[in-house]
Structures are given as structure tokens and as C-alpha cells.
Structure 1
Amino acid sequence: MITPQDWADARLLWDFQQMGHQPRPCSVAIGLGSHDLGVADVAVGLYRRGLVPLLVFTGATSRTTRARMPRGEAEHYRERALELGVPGGAVLVEPRARNTGENIRFSRELLAEQRVGVSSVLLVSKPYEERRAYATLRKLWPEVDVVCASSRMTLAAYVDSIGDDRLVLDMLVGAVQRLIVYPALGFMVEQEVPVPVASAYERLRERGFTGRLVSA
């Protein structure tokens, strides 16, 4: 059972992960693969606003997405974008990445292969992984400017849209754990985790929301 304290702690993690950037024109939008088709919807919205001329969707499958997206996360995102009216020529698919680092590296390689000049990236992720995505791109592609974007909604609304409370809380805990342990491994730049956020993270871990933790 998820308690009121669990939800309060989860909201602290949720708010911390969001960077608060204002979308602005960029060379390309990169949509990071996940179980959430809302990432594709946000990317399409940015394209429709004329903020980017090109969308890159990146992601293979994971244990969370295998059943929901059997053709691969990036391919399902592409299909969604086409359904919403984006022309096929404005969408590139990177189908191999299985983690955020590979999302960035493989997207960068694909854009170089396509001879697309990139000075700035609109980085589209789930709302609770903006900071993690930002820290990863800053490490692996430091020469470009990065602006983070995601669905603008409350934690409660997001959980309702996904339909799996525990999955979302597990993901929140896993995203903060990576901010703590990955900089020392060279996977992302350091992000200061405020004490209230770190305490909320520890409480949720102790309560068993550990389904997305990595060995550290």
C-alpha cells in the first residue's frame, strides 16, 4: 500500500527532477524512449510550434516496454508522430539504445551520419527524468546547448495517465539513485541533490520502491 508519506516523498522527487526550462528554437528535438507515449506527443507539439525542424526518437525495448511496445520504443514514437501529422521526412529513428547514455550517443551518431548540424538540442523525456537526461547529455555531448522538455502535469495526473502507481514511484526512486551514483562512474555530470530530496529518496527505498534501482 502506498501511504500519504510515500506520495509526499514522491512529489519531492518529482519536483526536483523537472528543470523548469522554457522551450526555445533548437537544431533538433530528441525524444528519449520509454513506456510513455507522452514523450512523442510533447516532441510533436514542439515541432508544430516551429521550435525544431527535425525529431529524433531513440530507444529499443526494455523489460518495462517489451509488452507495450513490441516494435521498439523509437518505432512506436515514430508511428505516433506520423498519426499526429508529422511528415515522415521530419522524423529519424534510432532503434538500438537501451539506456539514457546510449540514447544520447547513438542519436548523436545518427545525426552526424545524416549530416545534420547540431548546436542545440530540445531534450524530451518523461517529467521525472528531465534532470537525469540533462546531466547525461551534458556529460556526453557538452558542446551543444540543451533545453529540457516534458509533459506539464502533476504527479497525480501523470500516475493516472500511466495507470501503474508502483511503476512510477519505482522509476522516480531509480532516477534519483542514478543522479547520486552515475557521476562517479562517468555517465553524467554531477547534480547536487538537496537534503530534503535525498531524505525522501532514502525513505522510499526503505519502503521497498526499489524496482528500478541499479547495482552500485
Structure 2
Amino acid sequence: MISAQAWADARRLWGYHQMAHAARPCSVAIGLGSHDLGVADTAVSLYERGMVPLLVFTGANSPTTRESMPRGEAVHYRERALELGIPSSAVLVEPQARNTGENICFSRTLLEESGVDVSSVLLISKPYEERRAYATARKLWPEVEFVSASTPMTFEVYIDSIGDPRLVIDMLVGALQRLLIYPDQGFMIRLTVPDDVMEAYDRLRGDGFTSRVVPADAAARS
């Protein structure tokens, strides 16, 4: 049973993880690989709205996508975009990245090798990964302006789409922990975390929502 306080704390983390950036025209959109085909759908929507002339999908596989996306996350994203009517000439695929840092670095290399001049990027992720993706991208590609985007949805709708409330709360907690510890490891810039968000995070960790938390010894070695 998830308490009313835990639900309230989870909604607070959900809201914090989203950057609330307004979409605007950029040089390219980069869709970060995951289990969520909604990233590809959102990229397609932004392309159709004239926000970008080019899509890059990046991602290999993870334990959670090996069966559902056997050809790799980026490849499945591309296939989804083509099904929705995007011309193949408007889609690049980076199929090797296995974490957010590699997503950014490998996409940057692909765009440079393709001769694409990039001054701004629409960075598309799962809703609760917006802030983490933004902080990572700003660290690894500081000369480019990043605008965060994800599929617009409420916390409740996302819970329903996953079907496992406890897992979603665990993911929210894990994403915030990385925002706290990864700047010291050089993986991302440091972003301010409001006191009320930290209090919610501490309560959720205390309540055992920790399956996606990086162990202390692993964090120290990262």
C-alpha cells in the first residue's frame, strides 16, 4: 500500500523532473533511447510542427528493452518515425549508446560527421528524465543550447502506462539521486533542488522506494 504522503511526494518529484521548457525551433531533435516509444512519437510531432529539420535517435539496448526492442532502441524509434510518415532522409540513428552521457557524446559525433551545424537541440526524453538529460547535455556539450521536451502527460497517466506505481516512484527517486551525486563525478552540471523536493525525496527513500538508487559504493566508484 502506498500512503497518501508518498503519493504527494512522488507527484512533487514528478513535477520537479520536468523542465517546463516551451518548444521552439532548433537545429535538431535528439530522442534518447528507452523502453518508451512515446519519445519517438514526440519527436515526430515536433518535426511535423516545423520545430526541427532533422531527428537523431540514440540508444542500444538495456535489460528492460532487449526483448521488446531486439534491434536496438534507436532503430525501433526510427522505424516508428517512418511508420508515422517521417522521410528517411530526416532521421539519423546512433545505435551504440548505453547511457545518457553516451547518448549525448555519440549523437554529437554523428552530427559532426554528417556535417550538421548544431547551435540548439530539442532534447527528448521520458517525462521524468527531462532534468537529468538536460544536466548531462549541458555538461558534455556546453556550447549548444538545449530545450527539454517529453510526451505531455500527467503523473497519473504515466503510472497507468507503466502499470507499476511502485516502480515509477522508484524511478523518480533514482533520477533525483543521480542529480545529486553525478555532478561530483563530472557527469552533469549541478542544478538547484528546492527544499520541498529534497524533503519529499528523503521521505520516499525512507519509505523504501530505492530499487533504482545507485548503491553508495558504486556511486563512489563512478
Q: TM-score range by the shorter chain?
A: over 0.9
Give the drift of 1:76: 1.2
Query: Which residue in the other structure is 1:108 paired with?
Result: 108
- Matched residues, number: 216
- Which residue identity lines up with residue 179 of structure 2 in the other structure? L
- 2:64 matches 1:64: yes
RMSD: 1.1
Aligned amino acid, residue 132 of structure 1: R
- Counting only pairs closer than 5 Å after superposition, residues 187-198 of structure 1 correspond to structure 2 as 187-198=187-198
- Residue of structure 2 in register with 1:8 after alignment: 8
Quote the Cα distance in structure 1 between the aligned partners of 2:102 and 2:63. 17
* Secondary structure of 2:147's aligned partner: strand
Give identity over the alignment, percent: 72
Alpha-carbon distance in 1 for matches of 2:140, 2:79: 28
Which stretches in structure 1 are left out of the alignment for 5+ residues?
none
TM-score, reference length from structure 2: 0.94
List 4+ stretches of structure 1 deviating above 4 A: none
Q: Cα distance, 1:153 vs. partner? A: 1.1
Moved more, 48-57 or 1-10: 1-10
Q: Measure the CA separation in 1 of the matches of 2:34 and 2:213.
A: 16
For 1:70 and 1:180, the matched residues in 2 are separated by 33
Deviation of 1:164 (Å): 2.5
Question: Can you list the C-alpha shifts for 1:35-93, whole angstroms capped at 9, x where unaligned?
Answer: 11111111100000011011001111112222222221111111111111111111111
> Is the CA contact 1:36–1:162 (under 8 Å) kept in the aligned structure 2?
no
CA, structure 1 residues 6+66, in 2 after alignment: closer, same or farther (shift >3 Å)?
farther
Which runs of no fewer than 5 residues in structure 2 stay unpaired? none
Q: Does residue 141 of structure 2 align to residue 141 of structure 1?
A: yes
User: Under a length normalisation based on structure 1, what TM-score does the superposition of the two structures give?
Assistant: 0.97
Superposed, 1:134-213 pairs within 5 Å as: 134-213=134-213
Moved more, 19-28 or 194-203: 194-203
Code of the aligned partner of 1:6: A
CA distance in 2, matches of 1:39, 1:3: 30
